[in-house]
Structure 1
Amino acid sequence: MPTVITHLAIPLAVGLGLGRRIVPGPLLACGVAASVLPDLDVVGFKLGIAYAADLGHRGFSHSIVFALAVALIAATILRSFRVPWATSFWFLLFALVSHSLLDACTTGGKGVALLWPFSGHRFFAPYQVIEVSPLSITRFMSDRGIAVLLSELYCVWMPSAALGTLLLGGRRLICCFVSNHRSSRP
């Protein structure tokens, strides 16, 4: 799996790139939290749940069905913050699914149960370009940890920053176009 911090990159880039009018602060915070939520399944290790089990690491909590359920519930709760339901739903679904897709791009583990409960098959992306992060702090504080961070920088953080910049630039371009169009009316 990528490091916990790297799972934040994608919703942060998209949320900040789209701006506060589309992704207000409470929604951005929920999207960031949602992007790490699937990894709460590591508690299963302490409970004796096998890694490859449906309830194990990268199992049901990494599925599209789980992402849909969490996004539906959270979007409904966020309505009390005056955030449009559809905006919340799609942003949170994107944040949750981004977690599973990043995990599928790692060089280790047993894959991701994207289609649970319909299939327990664990999937990997066609290209595994993100070095899998060690779970122990001592192993992370080594050359292995540096290799993981570098792969995350090149494969996640830099593309996320580029995406956020493109969204920000596109948003500004649209605003300029709209204001110029309005001012040119008779």
Structure 2
Amino acid sequence: MPTIFTHIAVPIAAKVAVGARIPASMLLMGMLASILPDFDGIPRQFGVRFEGIWDHRGFTHSLGFAMAVGMLGIGFAQRWGIAWWKAWLWMCLCCFSHPLLDACTTGRYGVPLLWPLSDVRFNSPWKFIAISPIRADSFFSARGLAVLKNELFTVWLPLLSAAVLVLLGRKMR
């Protein structure tokens, strides 16, 4: 899986691309939605193990879960000054970006993108994101630094480059 720092790249790039149309609170909620699927790993930190769809990279890494998270956005639509469906879509897309990025990692486990319709786990044919170490002692090591460098070049720079191009295109109109 990518690091928590890289999962937030999608909402940040969207903010760069569209600017003031995404207020700070909307950006923060999008960032939270983008990391929310990994909250399924918290029980593991306390020695609790689940199996199948209930384990890490289970149902929280699916379109069904992202659509449910999108419902949270509806409650913020008025505060953000946007239509309810745009708030839902924002939260849904930010959340769904998480399993899409996870599917592009060098891991073999895959993600159940179509849950609850199917438990089949998907892996992208393009595996360009290195698996992040989870334990702190591994993360703050040469391997952790190598993963962050990989994510900078394979996720952050392409996303921010695309966002800047969209921003420039909008300003040229």
- Which protein is bigger by CA-based radius of gyration? 1
Alignment partner, residue 19 of structure 2: 19
What's the counterpart of residue 142 of structure 2? 143
Shift of 1:47: 5.6
- The alpha-carbon deviation at position 167 of structure 1 amounts to 1.8
Per-residue deviation, 1:109: 5.1
Quote the offset at 1:123 in angstroms.
1.2
Unaligned 5+ segments in structure 2 are none
**Corresponding position: 1:115 with 2:114:** yes
Q: Please, what is the CA RMSD of the aligned residues?
A: 1.5
Aligned to 2:78, which of 77, 80, 104? 80
TM-score by length of 1: 0.86
SS at match of 2:54: coil
Code of the residue aligned with 1:9 in structure 2: it is A
Q: 2:48 aligns to what?
A: 48
Distance 2:172 2:92 in 1: 27
Asked if structure 1 preserves the Cα contact closer than 8 Å seen for 2:16 and 2:160, the reply is no
Deviation at 1:75, TM superposition (A): 2.4
TM-superposed CA distance for 1:84, in Å, is 2.1
Aligned-residue identity in percent:
40
Distance 1:127 1:29 in 2: 29
Give CA-to-partner distance per residue, 1:145-181, whole Å, 9 cap, x none: 122111101110101111210121122122xxxxxxx
CA-to-aligned-CA distance 1:40-93 (integer Å, 9 cap, x gap): 00023236233x52111111001001101110x222101230332222122222
Within 1, Cα distance between the matches of 2:109 and 2:147? 18
Instruction: Go from structure 1 to structure 2 and tell me whether the alpha carbon gap of 1:155 and 1:90 turns closer, same or farther (over 3 Å shift).
Output: same
Structure 1 stretches of 4+ with a deviation exceeding 3 A read none
Count how many residue pairs are aligned between Structure 1 and Structure 2. Answer: 171
**Would you say 1:10 and 2:10 are equivalent positions?**
yes
| Closer/same/farther in 2, CA of residues 93 and 112 from structure 1, 3 Å limit | same
Worse overlay, 61-70 or 102-111: 102-111
Shift in Å at residue 95 of structure 1? 0.8
Output the amino acid matched with 1:141: F
Change beyond 3 A, Cα 1:47–1:113: farther
Q: Which AA in structure 2 matches 1:74? A: L
Equivalence for 2:96: 97
Cα contact 1:63–1:113 (8 A) shared by 2: yes
Map 1:24-43 → 2, pairs under 5 A: 24-43=23-42
Q: Equivalents in 2 of 1:29, 1:109: separation in Å?
A: 31
What is the match of residue 155 of structure 1?
Answer: 154
